[in-house]
Amino acid sequence: MFIEFSYAISPQKTYDESCFLDSQAINYTNNQLQVIEPKYNEAIPLNLLRRMGRAVRLGVGGAMEMCIKNNLQPNAIIFSSAVGGLEDCIKFLNQIYVYEEGTLTPTNFVQSTPNAIAGSLALLTKNSSYNTTHVNGANSFLDALLDAQLLMNEGKTSSCLLGCVEEISSYNYNINQLAGLYKDTFISSLDLLKTKSKGSICGEGAAMFYLSPHSQNYEAEIISFFTIQKNSSADEILEEIESMLNKENLEKNAISDLILGYNGDQETQQNYDSLSLFFENSNIYAYKHLTGEYPTSVSFALWMGIKLFKNKELPLSCIKKVSQNIREYVLIYNHYNSKEHSILLLKKGTRE
Amino acid sequence: MSGSIVVSGIGIISAIGNNIEEIHFSLKNGICGIKRAQILKSKYKENFLFGEIPFSNQELIKKYSLSLSEDYTRTDILAEIAFQQAFQDAGWSHECIQSNKTCFISSSTVGGMSEIDELYHDAIHKTNPSVFIQSYAFSAHAKKIVERYEIKGKTAVINTACSSSSNAILLAQRMIEQGYADRAIVGGVDSLSKFTINGFSSLSILSQGYCKAFDQNRDGLNLGESAVYLCLEKESKNTKNYYGKIISGGNANDSFHPSALSDDGKGITLAITSALEKAKLSFENIDFIQAHGTGTPNNDLVETKTMKTLFKRHLPFYSSKTYVGHTLAASGAFGIVTCLLALKNKEIYANLNFQQAIEEINYPPNLINQPFEAKYAMSNAFGFNGNCTSIILQR
């Protein structure tokens, strides 16, 4: 599978690549990193934009920005989100409790369902093709990628829009905080990777990819990917990664760049440390000080991996170790809550 | 490779029965499970009828001798019951379930929102989390099953609103066809929740009485709850006693309106034609349809109009929602189970609560439970945001 185009909306100004890459990374101090959105001026009529819930706006807006700029008309739309439009969901819940199940307005209800993103995009672009949404927690994004691959393997689908949206709201921040996912004290987000405490900080993002089964002109090729859905030690993860590399006839030294999901939680960093040691000759990068932690953040890592191939400079704070200048294969490893692991192997594309 | 995937086990719980035999009995005898709700906590239990499973969470746990941690929501409990039944019905061992060639694909639209009071509390209070704090996600039920049964194969959870479990089945079929799995446990679950009841009520599409699918005087749907899982496997010389085959499916988006179908039924037409195309079948091959048939003015008009236009003959159809209400994510798989039972037992089920055909179409559903020999059945499921899916089954 080939990635022809990619686009990300994140707590950094990634929607404008030149901004993200040249300027200093933006620091946050409230442990909640919210995305910086483009204006979507040309992508979505203003009257529609106003009526969109936040998750729908991020997903549809991100997809439209990428598709309009590059004149893309996908044959399939596959989205992924661990929580979907939670802001709308809780707004509707609020209505239920405040009005004691009285006469409610349905907008929040309709937009709270995760398939509202892919559905709204289909509606806006009059796209009737294959349309589905994955909600399997932190594995949603790679599940959606597998769905795209299965569909394209059938030979009738020549392109697929793969999207991923995760939004934070004060509500799910609260729920995850109660569940012990975040730090107890406020920190500077850019210092996240230096912290020695438990928990991470909360983030969000939307990432879009335009996939094709055959391509001569592409940003990156997806060589292999898989998920593991249980508490796994570094040895178990490494065993799976080595077996993947074996299948692809690659030595570990072939991995020029390694992107890891370090999130500042000192209790769950061992797997990242072990991989850093194992891939001793690879460049190593981290990203969650820029995005915060969220279930499907591996979609941002994929976007960042593609930027590496395009020989773009990343913010210096992303670089944990530089060993070499050749960029050929990028390996991405991330886990969420130690239980959901994502592994993705990319090869450099033809287009810089 | 079409036609090679068989359904070798079914787990199901709903308002008309707690297992496949009871459900078959109710379908065959036209027993409707839609009633005044007993367990549900909502102001609307006085206004509307529901397809409620008539046991509280504690009663379900006792009835099925389940040993579950206290963070199991109603959705999680229903999923656990149907999942267990499915693999036991197929005779699959724990080893088989734990094989990395066995995938598990589920779906839910309500997820942990069945425990809505706790969710609301946890969303706005900063202390005293409820026991369900980690159980609200759409995928929570699936994560619990994965952990409990140590599933190692591929897992996915779909949410395409009311077509969710049909799309889960479509994905499982692709995974088996392309060798990513040899077997699949696939389906969906949704329980009654104040969230969906208020949602559908705010859209004014809940019926004051029984859902009168395809009737001239239909006035909306009844919400229901259900969990349905199917065991799918490649047909081999070892597969003996199975329910039927999953032949193909089509998925398309109506791209018209967030909560209504287009007049010309574009999404339905595309879903049906792509399912037929993939199966290399034509309209004449389909013997009956389990229609989406929610009982809303919009759905039933567009669905009958499209069936009449496409099939060019009056083929028998019914809506299983007239028995159990609209069970949302589980409804697609529920409809498919009724097709499999009908095909296997050489019968067809009545569309309940029907009196008068929609005048402008005059295309009434099947009204009598009767012997009916069929080879191919089709099951439709359409969801909010345009998600239309059609699945073809074979005896």
* Integer CA distances (angstroms), B243 to A315, B51, B293, B344, B367, in order: 58, 25, 24, 6, 24
Distance to chain A for B323, nearest Cα, Å: 26
Q: Does A75 touch chain B (CB under 8 A)?
A: no
Interchain CB contact of A105 with B (< 8 Å): yes
pLDDT at A176 over 60: yes
Helix (H, G, I), strand (E, B) or coil at A187: coil
Hey, what amino acid is at B305? K
- Sequence-separated (6 or more) residues with CB below 8 Å from residue A211: A1, A2, A3, A4, A148, A152, A159, A160, A161, A162, A222
**Position A19 confidence tier, pLDDT thresholds 50, 70, 90:** low
Mean pLDDT of B360-365: 96
Tell the residue number behind the tokens 């929040």, with chain if given. Answer: A108
**Residue B143, token pair as written in the block:** 């994560």
User: In CATH terms, are A2-212 and A223-347 the same topology?
Assistant: yes
pLDDT at B129: 87
Q: Grade residue A23 by pLDDT with cuts at 50, 70 and 90.
A: low
Position A22 pLDDT exceeds 70: no
The domain at A2-212 falls in which architecture?
3-Layer(aba) Sandwich (3.40)
B249 touches chain A (CB under 8 A): no
The whole-chain average pLDDT of chain B stands at 95
Rounded Cα gap, residues B15 and B22, in angstroms: 10
CATH code of domain A223-347? 3.40.47.10
The Cα–Cα gap between B341 and B318 comes to: 14
pLDDT tens digits, one per residue of A298-342: 999 999 999 888 877 788 889 899 887 788 999 999 999 999 999
Q: Looking at this predicted complex, what is its ipTM?
A: 0.96
Share of chain A above pLDDT 90, in %: 80
List all residues 6 or more positions away from B228 whose beta carbon is below 8 Å from its beta carbon: B10, B11, B12, B14, B82, B165, B187, B188, B189, B330, B333, B334, B337
- pLDDT-derived band at B50 (thresholds 50, 70, 90) equals very high
Q: What is the mean pLDDT of residues B93-100?
A: 96
Residues of chain B with Cβ-Cβ distance to A339 below 8 Å are 143
Which residues of chain B are within 8 Å of residue A104 when distances are taken between CB atoms? 198, 201-202
Q: Is A97 on the interface with B (CB under 8 A)?
A: yes
Name the range with the highest mean pLDDT among B11-25, B109-123, B231-245: B11-25
Percent of chain A whose predicted confidence (pLDDT) is above 70: 99
Residue A73 has pLDDT above 50, yes or no: yes
pLDDT of A21: 66
Q: Between A and B, how many CB-CB pairs are < 8 A?
A: 190
- Answer yes or no: do A113 and B251 touch at CB < 8 A: no
Q: Report pLDDT for A41.
A: 81
Q: What is the mean pLDDT of residues B12-34?
A: 97
As given in the structure block, the two tokens for residue B63 are: 């009835």
Residue (of B65, B54, B50) closest to B13 by Cα position: B54
Structural domain boundaries of chain A?
2-212, 223-347
Q: Cβ(B379)–Cβ(B390) under 8 Å? A: yes
Q: What is the mean pLDDT of chain A?
A: 93
Instruction: Set out the domains of chain B in order of their start, with CATH numbers.
Output: 5-234 (3.40.47.10), 246-394 (3.40.47.10)
Backbone dihedral angles phi then psi of residue B5, each to the nearest 5 degrees? -105, 120
Rounded Cα–Cα distance for residues A123 and A129 (Å): 11
**Nearest residue of chain B to residue A148 (CA atoms):** B171
Contact A135 B133 (CB under 8 A): no
Label residue B1 by pLDDT band (50, 70, 90). very low
Average pLDDT over residues B223-245: 91
Residue A109 Cα, gap to closest chain B Cα (Å): 6
**Lowest mean pLDDT across A17-26, A258-267, B345-354:** A17-26
Count of helices and strands (H, E) across chain B:
12, 14
Per the CB < 8 Å rule, is A105 touching B202? Answer: yes
Task: Decide: A16 and A69 in contact? Cβ < 8 Å.
Answer: no
CB contact under 8 A, A119 and B159: no
CB contact under 8 A, B42 and A122: no
Q: What is the pLDDT of residue A171?
A: 78
Residue type, B60: L
**A95 near B CB under 8 A:** yes
Does B267 sit within 8 Å of A128, measured CB to CB? yes
Which one is predicted more confidently, A108 or A18?
Answer: A108
Tokens in use for B275?
């399912």
Contact A167/A54 with Cβ under 8 angstroms? yes
CB contact under 8 A, B180 and A150: yes
Lowest mean pLDDT among A23-27, A80-84, B1-5, B85-89: B1-5
Which residues partner with B156 through β-bridges? B105
Contact between chains at A128 and B124 (C-beta distance less than 8 A)? no
Residues of B in contact with A125 (CB under 8 A): 255
pLDDT at B238: 76
Tell me what the mean pLDDT of segment B81-92 comes to.
96
SS3 B302: helix
CB contact under 8 A, B142 and A104: no
Q: Is B256 an 8 Å CB contact of chain A?
A: yes
Question: What's the mean pLDDT in A205-211?
Answer: 98
Residue B388 pLDDT more than 80? yes
SS3 content of chain B, % helix, strand, coil (to 5): 35, 20, 40
Mind telling me how many Å the CA of A216 is from chain B's nearest CA? Answer: 25
* Averaged pLDDT, A185-212: 96
